[in-house]
Amino acid sequence: MNDSADEMAASEALRGREQLLQRLTEALPVGVLQVDARRRVVFTNDRLHEIVGTARATTLDEHLATVIDRDRPLVDAAFDAVLRDGVDDDIDVRIRHLGADEAEVRRCTLNLRALTGDDGEVTGVIVCVSDVTERARRRDELHMNANFDVLTRCLNRASTMAGLEALLAAPFDGSRPAVVFVDLDRFKLLNDQQGRAAGDEFLGVVARRLHGAVREDDLVGRMGGDEFLVVCPGVSTAAEAVRTAIRIAESLSHKIRLKTITTSSQVSIGVAWSSGTDTDADTLVAQADAAMRESKRRGAGRPVLFTPSLLRPPSQSA
């Protein structure tokens, strides 16, 4: 009778723990997924299926079928590492519910933890799945506001200068960064005559043309007001820097159609490039600015390459 009572007590305690775990997983705001060593699904809670958008099934692949194709190798590698070596992992993936619009991509964090037997052998994986879409969106917005100009989506001044400083500090490989300083000559007049909305629209068009005229790894920054700076890494000669500036000038030479008017675009462009390793970011930008002012003085809208003579007083530059 005593043995029977002990067995009943142990069984009741086991049922209590099972109920506790069941109720706990139901109350959690995260999805819970358990698989065995052969990747067969042992347990899921309702929240998991709400997050990933799949129905209950027997295999891991079926449960995570909504993970986008680009992130599938990351998921497979993480499960392989946990099941093979018992290595816990935290990964970020993107999912798209079946039938959802292309833009409706959710971002999720998967926390994978190994389950082991008494002998230490891995018996499965427990995974907590969190929908972090809104948190990631807020983080991206903070990053965007801290590093980009909200109006033009170009880098802001601080980020542009930081990018240039990093390029100048990189080991010398035979090429150096060049900078192209762009000033919009008639922007103030447009802003005064047509209003700020037209001026903002004009700046947006200029920014898009600048991005379209440069290489993929070039940095396009707005330095403030109507001034932009293009940072070009890996430039081997001054002539190469000038060719980039000419391409920019040509892209901005065409008329710009706004909502209220069609207007011309006139720019002044200065170029600076140093083959040495002792030029800092402020100096290089100041040189491009001086060249831009000479371009403005000439009034032809053509790029001017910086030379030391541009820093001399007018009486000595003849």
- Annotated active-site residue in 183, 218, 226, 289: 226
- Looking at residue 76, its pLDDT comes to 94
Contacts of the segment 277-284: beta carbons below 8 A, 24+ positions apart: 277/168, 277/172, 277/176, 279/168, 279/176, 280/165, 280/168, 281/161, 281/164, 281/165, 281/168, 282/161, 284/164, 284/168, 284/177, 284/179
Q: Give backbone dihedrals phi and psi of 113, rounded to 5 degrees, phi first.
A: -130, 135
Overall pTM > 0.75? no
- Looking at residue 318, its pLDDT comes to 36
- Looking at residue 116, its pLDDT comes to 93
- Domains in the chain, ordered, with CATH? 2-137 (3.30.450.20), 149-316 (3.30.70.270)
Q: Which amino acid is at 66?
A: T
- Looking at residue 145, its pLDDT comes to 87
Q: Is 119 a catalytic residue?
A: no
- Looking at residue 58, its pLDDT comes to 87
- Looking at residue 276, its pLDDT comes to 72
What DSSP designation does 309 have? G
pLDDT less than 70: residues of the chain: 1-23, 25, 27, 99-103, 277, 312-318
Contact 231, 168 (CB under 8 A): no
